[in-house]
Amino acid sequence: MASFEGTFTGASGLRIAIVVARFNDLVTGKLLSGCLDCLSRHGIDTAATSAQLDIAWVPGSFEIPLVAQRLAASGRYQVVITLGAVIRGDTPHFDVVVAEVSKGVAAVSRSTGVPVIFGVLTTDTLQQALERAGIKSNLGWNYGLQALEMGSLMAALPG
């Protein structure tokens, strides 16, 4: 019996792309900071000169899947992290944006075979989003960990 699981260390061969939405950048900027802090503490080079990490900014969460698709299909990255914040209070088309980004990210992952971490907060209020982006905890950190786990798991799996 084989047992496969990801690791959180020894990620020297891992190349990661992060797609971040500018919309609600008060929130997404904090998610990015938490994510970079996590990756850096687990051995990923997060310096501006890094060959291991690239960051792409998009206008809003709706645009995340298209850019994630391009990056995942490039063959350059073993894992893509998406960061966004869709807040119900801000928009009557909350449901449209959430449906598109969530289905889009899942489709990119399946079609390319590259794990794409879904780091898009969907909340009713800005307060709730901020609580998940650093006021209480910073989910950006979790998304970083999940990227390391999935990147190393996929490398360990056969096929």
Q: Which is nearer to ligand INI, 21 or 38 (CB)?
A: 21
Q: Measuring CA to CA, which residue among 154, 125, 117 is closest to residue 34?
A: 117
* Number of Cβ within a 10 Å radius of residue 46: 18
89-148 binders of ligand INI (CB under 6 A): 90-91, 97
Q: CA-CA distance, 154 to 30, in Å (whole number)?
A: 28
- 19: Cα within 13 Å, side-chain hemisphere: 28
Nearest approach, Cβ of 96 to ligand INI (angstroms)? 9
**Quick check: 62 binds ligand INI (CB under 6 A)?**
yes
- Spatial CA neighbour of 70 closest among 116, 26, 31, 28: 116
Check residue 60 for interaction with ligand INI (CB under 6 A).
yes
Q: Within 13 Å of residue 130, how many CA atoms lie on the same side as its CB?
A: 5
Residue 87 beta carbon to ligand INI: minimum distance, rounded to whole angstroms: 5
Q: Is 93 a catalytic residue?
A: yes
Q: Which of 4, 10, 75, 93 is catalytic?
A: 93
Number of chain residues interacting with ligand INI (CB under 6 A): 15
Measured CA to CA, the distance from residue 40 to residue 47 in angstroms comes to: 9
Query: Which range touches ligand INI (CB under 6 A), out of 20-28, 39-47, 102-110, 151-159?
Result: 20-28
Query: How far apart are CB 61 and ligand INI at their closest, in Å?
Result: 3
Q: Which residues are catalytic?
A: 93
Residues near ligand INI, by CB under 6 A: 21, 23-24, 59-63, 84-87, 90-91, 97
